[in-house]
């Protein structure tokens, strides 16, 4: 039976398996298209590019076939030969902009989690990752974006016809703040261009409790959070435990996003958000980037045991998470794309119809069949996160 939700005089109607949005809901969404492509621009809010380059030893300037062939006899990681991300495929999918991460965990001597033995080693690891990003800038593969002027200039270039490859824009984020072991390190990171921070990752961390852990932020985490707000960085609430999520939002009044998170109602694990948490993010005018990790998409996925075929897993499941967030919001303004593709997993743990990062464009027709307009799809693919950045980077 159809039902209606009202929020701020907007109407968001749902029929079984199909969503329809009034055009007025999407009027503020920008629809940046490249001049060479009829595909909507994709802004992926979470890609571990430097981790793949520096730890998985993947040359992302090469073709997907080249990277997979090079890994065909490697067994050190379960996703070897199954990656989907490289710069040529990002361009083919009109993915002109992303949030790219630094990531380095530090752990105590009794921890079962992998990580560096000290926070200073973790910091040094992030600096090696930064050096790789700089090399990719020098090679013309990437463009570092740190402010609104740079963002608008980059978007304008992606709308103009050009010969040869365009640099992919990236905004730098830190996933887990173990490497920021003094507030001065955060200031140094902001000075070199860091613009978003997630305080925790998996398990216990320097700043608080992360995924699969329990508890609030640590005393140092609260101190660092105040510095995040003072400097005007975006707080990424992905990977916070339920208690740390509540603690962080009670103390932080700056801009918030969730770069790569799904709905616990559709995939029962504390890595995802409850409906109440999603409503809280909506009240904070945040945007949630939906991720393509299978364990975050369906109930009952068993890590390293389940296969996509066991669930007939496809991008339709990702659309379900988008639908769910839109239903809770009463509009399309609070959801985007944050694939987390190749974030320690590959096609063995992704939708079967996602053989390349370029295939994220298949999500558009899926959403269109559910009643989303072109403007709605553009908002989800890039407009909502761009609107957030434009508010923050005044």
**Residue 112's pLDDT is what?**
81
Could you tell me the pLDDT band of residue 161, with boundaries at 50, 70 and 90? confident
How many Å apart are CA 89 and CA 168, to the nearest integer? 11
> What's residue 109's pLDDT?
80
| Better pLDDT: 339 or 37 | 339
pLDDT of residue 251: 98
The pLDDT assigned to 60 comes to 98
CA distance 318 to 204: 29
**Residue 3 lies inside a defined structural domain of this protein:** no
pLDDT of residue 285 exceeding 70, the answer is yes
Residue 27 is assigned to a structural domain of this protein? no
Q: Is 312 helix (H, G, I), strand (E, B) or coil?
A: coil
**Six-digit token string for 211:** 């995924």
- Residue 27 confidence class, pLDDT cut points 50, 70, 90: very low
8 A C-beta contact, residue 371 and residue 19: yes
Long-range contacts of 64-69, Cβ-Cβ distance < 8 Å, separation of 24 or more: 64/88, 64/89, 64/356
4 — pLDDT class (breaks 50, 70, 90): very low
Backbone angles phi, psi at 293, to 5 degrees: -70, 120
Of 1-5, 195-199, 326-330, where does mean pLDDT reach its minimum? 1-5
Asked whether residue 148 is assigned to any structural domain, the reply reads yes
User: Above 80 in pLDDT, residue 34?
Assistant: no
Determine the pLDDT at residue 15.
Answer: 36
Strand (E) or helix (H) holding 131: helix 119-138
- What's the rounded Cα separation, in Å, for the pair 191 and 210? 26
CA distance 19 to 328: 12
pLDDT at 99: 99
**Section 123-140 average pLDDT:** 98
Q: Of 260, 49, 233, whose CA–CA distance to 134 is shortest?
A: 49
User: How many other CB atoms are there within 10 angstroms of residue 232's CB atom?
Assistant: 13
| Secondary structure E strands in 50-167 | 97-102, 142-144
Least confident of 162-166, 272-276, 360-364: 162-166
Check if the beta carbon of residue 20 is closer than 8 Å to that of residue 371. yes
Average pLDDT over every residue of 159-165: 80
Task: Tell which wins on pLDDT, 165 or 201.
Answer: 201
Handedness of CA 330, 331, 333, 335 (dihedral sign): positive
Instruction: Report residue 214 as tokens.
Output: 């329990």
Using 50, 70 and 90 to split pLDDT, how confident is the model at 76? very high
Residue 1, domain member (yes or no):
no
Q: Is residue 67 part of a domain?
A: yes
What is the per-residue pLDDT for 102?
98
The whole-number pLDDT of residue 8 equals 32
CATH of the domain at 378: 3.20.20.140
Asked whether residue 376 is domain-assigned, the answer is yes
Spatial distance between the Cα atoms of 49 and 54, rounded to a whole number of angstroms:
9
Higher pLDDT, 246 or 10: 246
The pLDDT score that the predictor gives to residue 239 is 98
**Burial of 302 per CB tally in 10 Å (0-12, 13-18, 19+):** exposed
Q: What is the pLDDT of residue 37?
A: 58
Strands 194-198 and 168-175: parallel
Rounded Cα gap, residues 15 and 323, in angstroms: 11
Quote the domain boundaries for residue 376.
Answer: 39-392
| 141-153 average pLDDT score | 98
Phi first, then psi, for residue 327 (nearest 5°) are -65, -45
pLDDT, residue 113, reads 83
Mean pLDDT of 4-26: 38
User: What pLDDT was estimated at residue 32?
Assistant: 52
- Compute the average pLDDT of residues 319-344: 98
Mean pLDDT over each residue of the chain, to the nearest integer: 92
Q: How many helices (H) and strands (E) does the chain have?
A: 13, 12
Domain count, the chain: 1
- The tokens for 142 are 């990437």
Report the pLDDT value the prediction gives residue 12, as an integer from 0 to 100: 45
Average pLDDT of span 12-30: 40
């Amino acid at each position: 039976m159809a039902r209606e939700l009202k929020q701020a005089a907007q109407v968001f109607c749902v029929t079984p398996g199909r969503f329809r949005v009034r055009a007025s809901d999407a009027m503020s969404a920008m629809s940046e298209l490249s001049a060479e492509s009829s595909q909507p621009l994709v802004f992926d809010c979470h890609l571990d590019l430097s981790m793949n380059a520096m730890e998985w030893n993947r040359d992302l300037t090469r073709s997907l076939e080249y990277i997979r062939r090079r890994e065909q006899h490697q067994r050190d990681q379960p996703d070897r030969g199954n990656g989907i991300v490289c710069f040529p495929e990002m361009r083919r999918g009109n993915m002109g902009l992303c949030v790219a991460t630094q990531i380095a965990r530090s752990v105590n001597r009794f921890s079962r989690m992998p990580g560096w033995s000290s926070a200073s080693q973790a910091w040094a690891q992030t600096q090696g990752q930064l050096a790789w990003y700089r090399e990719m800038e020098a090679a013309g593969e990437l463009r570092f974006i740190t402010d609104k002027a740079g963002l608008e200039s980059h978007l304008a270039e992606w709308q103009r016809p050009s010969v040869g490859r365009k640099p992919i824009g990236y905004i730098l984020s830190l996933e887990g703040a173990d490497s920021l072991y003094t507030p001065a390190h955060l200031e140094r990171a902001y000075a070199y261009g860091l613009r978003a921070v997630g305080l925790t990752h998996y398990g216990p961390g320097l700043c608080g409790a992360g995924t699969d852990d329990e508890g609030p932020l640590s005393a140092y985490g609260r101190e660092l959070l105040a510095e995040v707000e003072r400097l005007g960085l975006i707080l990424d609430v992905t990977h916070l435990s339920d208690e740390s999520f509540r603690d962080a939002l009670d103390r932080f009044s700056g801009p918030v996003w969730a770069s790569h998170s799904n709905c616990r109602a559709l995939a029962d694990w504390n890595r995802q958000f409850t409906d109440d948490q999603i409503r809280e993010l909506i009240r904070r005018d945040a945007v949630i980037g939906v991720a393509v990790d299978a364990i975050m998409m369906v109930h009952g996925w068993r890590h390293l045991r389940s296969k996509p075929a066991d669930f007939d897993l496809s991008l339709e499941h990702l659309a379900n998470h988008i639908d769910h967030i839109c239903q809770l919001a009463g509009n399309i303004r609070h959801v985007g794309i944050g694939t987390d593709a190749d974030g320690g997993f590959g096609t063995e743990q992704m939708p079967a119809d996602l053989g390349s990062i370029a295939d994220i464009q298949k999500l558009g027709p899926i959403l269109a069949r559910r009643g989303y307009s072109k403007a709605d799809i553009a908002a989800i693919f890039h407009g909502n996160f761009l609107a957030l950045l434009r508010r923050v980077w005044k």
